[in-house]
């Protein structure tokens, strides 16, 4: 059974509260429940993890080395700023799918750049929770 680490970054813990017109009214707990349900249906073992701290995200990626077969990552705003997260992904060489709840290309110009997409095998944007299912299907 493939083991997938799902990393959610900065402010994802505020789902349902932060800009519900963009991100919806479902909570982070709802997202985790959805991810686990999808993984079970696809025959994947999944670990979900969230942090608002860039260094902790880097450490989680490093600790994934030799343990996980794939990473699904929504780094939130760190997507557009963190060379450190990009470098961590490159260092561990674990297949990675980048996910964003919204379409970052249709938002503010500063959100158009994704450092993570410079490494990720696939990027899924603007599909809400369904984007995580599509990412997991990629690994299944």
Catalytic residues, by residue number, are 23, 100
Six-digit token string for 115? 């450092």
* Phi, psi of 122, deg, nearest 5: -150, 145
Count of other CB atoms within 10 angstroms of residue 115: 20
Sheet containing strand 45-50, edge to edge, reads 45-50, 3-8, 70-74, 96-100, 122-125
3-class SS of residue 92: helix
């Amino acid at each position: 059974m493939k083991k997938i680490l799902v990393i959610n970054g900065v402010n994802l813990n505020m789902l349902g509260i932060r800009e519900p017109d963009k991100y919806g009214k479902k909570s982070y707990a709802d997202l985790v429940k959805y991810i686990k349900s999808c993984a079970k249906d696809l025959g994947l073992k999944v670990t979900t993890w969230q942090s608002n701290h860039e260094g902790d995200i880097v450490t989680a990626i490093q600790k994934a080395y030799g343990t996980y077969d794939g990473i699904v990552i929504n780094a939130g705003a760190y997507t557009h700023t963190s060379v450190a997260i990009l470098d961590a992904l490159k260092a561990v060489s674990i297949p990675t799918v980048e996910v964003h709840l919204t379409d970052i290309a249709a938002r503010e110009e500063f959100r158009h750049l994704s450092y993570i997409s410079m490494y990720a095998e696939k990027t899924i944007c603007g599909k809400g929770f369904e984007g995580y299912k599509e990412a997991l299907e990629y690994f299944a």
